[in-house]
Amino acid sequence: MNLTIKPLTPELKADYFDFFENRAFTDDSPYRCYCQMYQLSKGQEQTEYDKVDASDLGRVSRNIAEQQIDSGILRGYLAFVDGVSIGWCNANDKANFPIEPCVGESFHAPAEKREIAVVCFEIAPEYRGKGVATALLQQVVADAKADGYVAVEGFPVVRDERYEWDCAGPIRLYEKLGFVEVARHGDRLVMRKTLKGVTE
C-alpha cells in the first residue's frame, strides 16, 4: 500500500471534502460530518445552526469546515493511497479548541501548555485494519515533537467489544505508540504521550 500522510492545508481542501463526501461514511456509519464540530463553541453552534432547516445542515456544516480550514482552526492529517484521500485524523493544538465546546467534552488548554489533542479518526472502510490510523498517529507525534510540543493526548472510550466506528480510536492504538492513561472521566480515558527531548 502506497500510503502518504499530509498535514491538512487550505490547498488540500478538495481532497478533504472528497474524502468526507465520497469515502468516509460508505458503510452505514452513524456519523455524518466534516469534523467541524470539535472546533465550534456553544455560542458559534447556536449562531450557525439554530435557524437552519434540517435539509440545509450539510451545506452549513461544509461551509463551517471550509472556513475553519482556511483560518487554520481545523487542523489534522489526511492519509492518501495512490493520491486518493482515504483517512483523516483531527489533531490540533489544544488552544484551537473552544473553552466552552458544543460537543460536550473540552479539549482546550492555553497555548503556553504546548499540547496536542487527537480527537477523531475516520478511515475509509476498505482501509481499516491496515495500519492507517497508526501511521496517522505516528505522524502526529513526530510533528508535535519537531514543533516543540510537550505532549500529545488522545481520548479513547472504554468498550467491551470492538466498535467499527470508534472515531476516538481504540485504546490499544495509543498504547502501542507509548501513550499511558493519566485520567479517566466515566468511560473516556485521557491517554498521554510525553515527548522526550522537549523542554517543558
Sheet holding 84-93, edge to edge: 3-7, 77-81, 84-93, 115-123, 151-154, 188-194, 180-185
C-alpha grid cell, residue 143:
510533528
Residue 28 banded pLDDT, cuts 50, 70, 90: confident
| Amino acid (one-letter) located at 153 | E
Give the model's pLDDT for residue 50.
83
From CA 130, how far away is CA 40, in angstroms rounded?
Answer: 31
pLDDT of residue 53: 82
Torsion over CA: 70, 192, 198, 137 (sign):
negative
Confidence grade of residue 31 (pLDDT, cut at 50, 70, 90): confident
Which residues neighbour 64 within 8 Å (Cβ) at sequence distance 6 or greater? 34, 36, 40, 48
In terms of pLDDT, which residue wins out, 187 or 79?
A: 79
The answer on pLDDT for 199 being more than 60 is no
Catalogue all structural domains in the chain, each as residue range(s) with its CATH number.
Answer: 3-194 (3.40.630.30)
pLDDT at 159: 87
Dihedral sign for Cα atoms in the order 34, 32, 173, 97: positive
Least confident of 16-20, 32-36, 79-83, 91-95: 32-36
Q: Which pTM was predicted?
A: 0.93
The 10s digit of each residue's pLDDT in 33-89 is: 999 999 999 999 988 888 788 778 889 999 999 999 999 999 999 999 999 999 999
Q: At what angle do helices 57-71 and 42-49 cross, to 10 degrees?
A: 130
At 200, the pLDDT band (50, 70, 90 cuts) reads very low
Give residue-wise pLDDT tens across range 154-172.
999 998 887 777 899 999 9
> What's the CA gap between 91 and 144, in Å, rounded?
10
